Amino acid sequence: MFKATLKPVVCAVLLATVGAGCASIDYNASLPEPVRVPAGHSVSLESVGVGEITYECRDNKEKPGAFAWAFVVPVAVLNDMQNKPIGKYYGGPTWEANDGSKVTGKQVAIAPASPGNIPLQLVKAEPAMGKGAMTGVSYIQRLETKGGVAPAATCDASTAGAKQQVGYQAKYVFFKQN
């Protein structure tokens, strides 16, 4: 029992202090199936994104004649686990490290988060641009979301085109193939 619990604790300490990855940490175990990273990948970096999501009041394509808040673009600062800025996140989606390396991706899946919070997300990364922290990233998970849902403000013909920013926070976990 001691060995089974010690290894994840040591890996968690490594992640928190130096950003080192540990293949033995199973971020997937407690997550909904759709946002689990496939086997053969391990954590390379963790960050917390703090920023805003812009929404715009638009025609609702699913309900002609109705209006709804539509997601436009996110903007966030990426902080390490000691709350030091290490990069930024913006539309694309794109995660860019302070070393200039960046990665974009395509959403694979989402899963519900607690009420009032944007969903958990799994993104498959495209090959990184530049050399640095984002080099080799294969998947990104958005976890531990806080806020970020569409505004509660009225969205109808009289407010069409209006934009609102909503604060949010999320943990972004970056994975590389083993």
Q: What is the pLDDT of residues 104-159, one digit of tens each?
A: 999 999 999 999 999 999 999 999 999 999 999 999 999 999 999 999 999 999 99
Rounded mean pLDDT of the chain?
88
* CA–CA distance, 147 with 99 (Å, rounded to integer): 29
* CA–CA distance, 148 with 167 (Å, rounded to integer): 6
User: Which residues is 139 bridged to in the sheet?
Assistant: 124, 175
**Percentages of the chain per state (helix, strand, coil), in multiples of 5:** 15, 50, 40
Q: What is the pLDDT of residues 56-100, one digit of tens each?
A: 999 998 898 899 999 999 999 999 999 999 999 999 999 999 999
* CA–CA distance, 15 with 22 (Å, rounded to integer): 8
Q: Of 8, 44, 10, which Cα lies nearest the Cα of 26?
A: 8
Q: Is the pLDDT of residue 23 over 50?
A: no
Enumerate the domain spans of the chain.
2-177
* CA–CA distance, 170 with 2 (Å, rounded to integer): 32
Q: How many residues make up the chain in this entry?
A: 178
